[in-house]
Structure 1
Amino acid sequence: MCGPDDRCPARWPGPGRAVKCGKGLAAARPGRVERAGRGGAGLELHQLLGGRTWRAARDADGCEALGTVAVPFDDDDKIIGGYTCEENSLPYQVSLNSGSHFCGGSLISEQWVVSAAHCYKTCIQVRLGEHNIKVLEGNEQFINAAKIIRHPKYNRDTLDNDIMLIKLSSPAIINARVSTISLPTAPPAAGTECLISGWGNTLSFGADYPDELKCLDAPVLTQAECKASYPGKITNSMFCVGFLEGGKDSCQRDSGGPVVCNGQLQGVVSWGYGCAWKNRPGVYTKVYNYVDWIKDTIAANS
C-alpha cells in the first residue's frame, strides 16, 4: 500500500479533470463543484475523508467564492455519455490511488506511466489491470511510484504542459491484461475518432460514480473549433476532443487518463468548463509535443 491515510494528502489542486474559471461559472453557478467536479487551475478542493462534502476555495483568477456543495463521494467514476468498456480491453489504462482512485494514467513501458501534471501527489500507488475498482478481480498489479516527474514548464494557472511521468518502483508484469500503449508518431488530425477512458463522473449536473471502467468514442475537433470554445485559453500543447452539442465528455477523476487514436496515445485528460456542456468540449494535453521530453526523461532516470 501507499502508506497510512495521514501520509497521503487529502487535499490537492484537482482530483479529476481540471476546471478553469469562466464568465458566469462562479457566482451564477454555486454548484460548480458538483456540476463541474474537476478541481483545477487556481482552485483548491478539500475532500473530507469519510464524508460527502467538497469545499471550493476562491479561484486564483479572481472569481467569487464558489461555496460548499455536498456531493456523493466514492472512489470510482465514469465517463459522461459513454459505455462500459469490455473487461480488460484497455490493458494500458491505470488507476492512480492515494487511499482511493483520484486520476487515470497510461502505461507506456514496463516501468513508466503518463498522466496529467495537475494529478500530482507525493504519495501515489499505480493500479494496473483494473476494471472494477471496487472489487479485487485477481488480475490487478499494485505498484508504488518511485519517481513522480511533472513537466518542468507545467503552469498550474493555465494548465499548459499538463503532463507528468511516473516511474514504478518495480516493472509491471506484461500480460494480456496489463500492457503498454504506443507514443504518437504524428499529431492527431481533426476528425480522427479516438477512445477516451476512465472512472470519471457520468453526470453533467450532480454525481454518479459506478465502479467499472467506462469508454467514450469521440472525434478530434479542429484547432479553430477548440480555440473558439475557449478564447485565449488554448495553447499549442492542447487540443479538443468531443462534441460541440454536448452530452458526451470526460469528467471528474478522469484526469490524466488516455485519449487513444489509431492505437497511439495522443492525449491526456486535462481540463474543461463543466462536463459535457454545449460548446465546451474536453481539452487534452497533446502528447505528440512531449515525445522527446518523455524519452529524455526516461533515459535520465533509468
Structure 2
Amino acid sequence: MLKIIISLFYLLTVYGLPLDSSQKDAPWHIHLNISGLRCGGSLIQDKYVITAAHCFDYYLEEFGSDLSHFHIYIGEWKLSMDPDCDEDNSDEVCDYVVKSKAAALKIHEKYDKNEANSKHNYDIAVITLKRPPRVSEIVSSALLPDQKCDDNFTGKDLRISGFGETSTQVNAVVRKNMDIKIFDHGKCLSAFQNKVYDSKNHICGAGKNGLATCKGDSGSGAVSQIGADDEDEVKTYLTGIVSFGSDVCGDGKPTGLLKVSCFTDWINGVISGVTKPKAAPPESSSSKPPSSNDNGDEEGDDGY
C-alpha cells in the first residue's frame, strides 16, 4: 500500500545531476526525512524551512498533527558521513549535521491534494524549527523575494540542489547541483498539456540536454544569486520550489516550480503569526515511528 501511495506523489529528484556540490555552496538547503520519504527545503530567516506541501500528503494521513515522526537535517552534505568531512582535507568544514525537529507546520490553507488546481497552485508549506541553527560556512538562510507575482523569469538561470536520484536511478549520497534555464510560459503549458501548469503561480525549466527533476527532491529550492563573485556578498534568493514534473524520469519533461514571489506575503504572515501554523503536540514516549533509517530511505524500499 505504501508503494502505491508514494508512487502517486510528485516526489521529485534531480535526474542525472551533473555536478557534485561542494560543502559550502548550498548552505540554505535542508534535507527532510518525512517518515521515510525524501524531500528538500530551504532555510529562511534562521528558523523557518520552506518546502512543498505535497511532501506531507501521506504523513498527515498517517500521523495527523503529530510532528514527531519526521526529521530535519541542517548542514547535510554527505549522507554517508557525520561529520561531513575528511579531517585531512583543510577545505572541508568538520561540523556535525544538526538533526532538528519541527515546532510547527503550516500547509497553505488553499492546498487540497485531492483537487488538481489547488494541489499544484498552492503546493507550499512552512516548517518552524524548534530552535534556530548556528549560522556557519555551511548553514545560512536564503532571502525571500518581494511579493511580485507578475515577475518574468524567462531565460533566467536558477540552481537546484538535492539528494534525489541520479542518472543511475540511485539516490545521491553526496548533495548534487543542477543549473536550469527558465522557459517561457507557452513552452511550459505545452510540456504539461495545461493540466498542472498555471502561468501565474508557476515557472518551469530544464538543464543542459533536457536534464530536469524526478523522484526524491520535492520541496527543494531553486535559487537565483545576485552579485558578482568579487563583491563582498552574493545575495541568494529563493525563487522557486520544486513541485511537479514527469512521473517517468528522463523523458525530457521540464521541472515545474512554484513561484515563491507569489507567496512572499503569505510566508511572512505565517512567520509573523498572522496566519497561525499548527503547533506540534507534546512528544509522547509511547509513540513509535515507522522503521526507517536517518537518510530518508525506508528500509528495504529505498525510500520510494
TM-score, normalised relative to structure 1 = 0.71
Closer/same/farther in 2, CA of residues 197 and 79 from structure 1, 3 Å limit: farther
Closer/same/farther in 2, CA of residues 81 and 210 from structure 1, 3 Å limit: closer
How do 1:9-20 and structure 2 match up within 5 A? 14=6, 18-19=9-10
How do 1:87-98 and structure 2 match up within 5 A? 87-98=23-34
Structure 1 counterpart of 2:39, which letter? Answer: C
Q: Which residue of 2 aligns with 1:272?
A: 245
Closer/same/farther in 2, CA of residues 164 and 99 from structure 1, 3 Å limit: closer
Cα separation, 1, equivalents of 2:213 and 2:144: 21
- Which ranges of structure 1 fall in alignment gaps of 5 or more residues? 1-9, 20-37, 40-76
Name the SS of the counterpart of 2:190 in structure 1: helix
Q: Would you say the 8 A contact 1:259–1:266 is kept in 2?
A: yes
Q: Which residue of 1 aligns with 2:52?
A: 116
Structure 2 counterpart of 1:134, which letter? Answer: S
Cα separation, 2, equivalents of 1:143 and 1:15: 27
Shift of 1:201: 0.8
Number of matched pairs: 234
Q: Which residue of 1 aligns with 2:125?
A: 164
Closer/same/farther in 2, CA of residues 142 and 201 from structure 1, 3 Å limit: same
Shift of 1:210: 2.8
Name the SS of the counterpart of 2:263 in structure 1: helix
Name the SS of the counterpart of 1:293 in structure 2: helix
Q: Would you say the 8 A contact 1:79–1:198 is kept in 2?
A: no
**Deviation digits for residues 27-60 of structure 1 (CA, Å, limit 9, x no counterpart):** xxxxxxxxxxx48xxxxxxxxxxxxxxxxxxxxx
Q: Which residue of 1 aligns with 2:92?
A: none
Shift of 1:139: 3.2
Q: Would you say the 8 A contact 2:242–2:256 is kept in 1?
A: yes
Closer/same/farther in 2, CA of residues 152 and 245 from structure 1, 3 Å limit: same
1:217 and 2:179 aligned = yes
Structural RMSD (CA): 2.5
Q: Would you say the 8 A contact 1:141–1:172 is kept in 2?
A: yes
Closer/same/farther in 2, CA of residues 268 and 283 from structure 1, 3 Å limit: same
Name the SS of the counterpart of 2:42 in structure 1: strand
Shift of 1:192: 0.5
Structure 2 counterpart of 1:95, which letter? Answer: H
Shift of 1:244: 9.1
1:252 and 2:225 aligned = no
Q: Would you say the 8 A contact 1:79–1:197 is kept in 2?
A: no
Shift of 1:124: 2.2
Among 115, 130, 137, the alignment partner of 1:176 is: 137
How do 1:41-190 and structure 2 match up within 5 A? 79-98=15-34, 100=36, 102-120=38-56, 121=59, 122=67, 123-137=69-83, 138-156=95-113, 157-158=115-116, 159-185=120-146, 186=148, 187=151, 189-190=153-154
* Larger RCO, structures 1/2 (Cα 8 Å, 6+ apart): 2
Q: Would you say the 8 A contact 2:20–2:176 is kept in 1?
A: yes
Name the SS of the counterpart of 1:251 in structure 2: strand
**Deviation digits for residues 79-120 of structure 1 (CA, Å, limit 9, x no counterpart):** 423210111311000001246561000001211000000011
Q: Which residue of 1 aligns with 2:272?
A: 299
Cα separation, 2, equivalents of 1:201 and 1:249: 11
Closer/same/farther in 2, CA of residues 15 and 165 from structure 1, 3 Å limit: farther
Cα separation, 2, equivalents of 1:212 and 1:244: 21
Shift of 1:13: 5.2
Q: Would you say the 8 A contact 1:139–1:177 is kept in 2?
A: no
Cα separation, 1, equivalents of 2:7 and 2:27: 23
Closer/same/farther in 2, CA of residues 135 and 98 from structure 1, 3 Å limit: farther
**Deviation digits for residues 216-275 of structure 1 (CA, Å, limit 9, x no counterpart):** 0110111111001112221221210215953x1122111100100122111111111223
Task: Using the aligned pairs only, state the percent identity.
Answer: 26
